[in-house]
Structure 1
Amino acid sequence: MRSMTGFGRATAAGDNFSITVELKTVNNRFLDVNLRLSSEVQSLETAIKRTIGNRLSRGRVDVNLQYERNNEVSYEINRPMITGYLAAMRSMKDEFDLAGEPDLNVIARLPNVVVPSKEEAGPEFFTAIETVLADALDDLEKCVRRRVRPSLTNLAQDSPVSNRACRPSRRSPPRSELSTTSGCSSE
């Protein structure tokens, strides 16, 4: 398909997740795919670009792939980071003769101390992404066809061109008769 301006959207859901893909294309001479992916699907960037490249030959394509877990999210603690932080706090306390103990609330707010546990994506997940991407591309193609067909019909109806060579309906006036004033006022 020669991509043109259009929009496609599709959604799929599995047991523990839902995926939404939105595609927006605008005319461009070359194929330019821009992805906005959830961190869980970053590893699929190359495969997603390849799939789009197999279906579209040109255009700027903005892809927004949203992944949401439907099940309860479990968290992990970053033990090495906490151990290092506590050792630094104790060293600081002893070296500078400070009072107090490290606060759990302060530790929990440190970046990357408590993180969502990573779930291994199963084959159902990858199949769902392939399916929803294909469905979004199908929806995009339908949108482009709906936009192009009326334009082509109107062009054919409005066109004075017949099977013979296109000729001007009247001759241009001689150069001496052409107006030299511009459309802009000189005020």
Structure 2
Amino acid sequence: MPLIESNYNPPLPFKSGHISTIYSGLIRKVSNFSQQRERLELKDGDFIDLDWSFSATPSNVVVILLHGLEGHGQRPYITGSAKHFNTNGVDSCAVNFRGCSGETNRLFRSYHSGATEDLNAVIQHILSTRKYSSIYIKGFSLGGNLTLKYLGEGPVPNQIKGAVTVSV
């Protein structure tokens, strides 16, 4: 795999990874953004809540956003990503893993980085209920780990065109 050099030079206070992390987690706010919640019932009797946001123009592309440990679909790193994609003509589906949407899940089971069957259920739901020709996945931390595990287990649907992971 080629190494691609970056020429990104962050502004002075954000040159420190610690400042960037604290700012993103405690101070950053995403304004003028809304999501629509959909509950996906799973085959095992539990559920996952999906937070949808849409481009101003009709889109045939969606990005699935997967949060990290202790995260959820309203964290600024998720909503900021969703807003960015929406502004650029891409719909987004932020997945709240089991027990992460503000409501306790039904089963005595939590989410974990190996629960690719839950991600597969989300993808199959999108394929059966929406008309997207291209699906991308963006996973942060634990969600990035889940993304890579899912892709490595293969085969994946043809509609999945790519993925990016952050801090896995």
Normalised TM-score (structure 1): 0.26
TM-score, length of structure 2 as denominator length: 0.28
Larger radius of gyration: 1
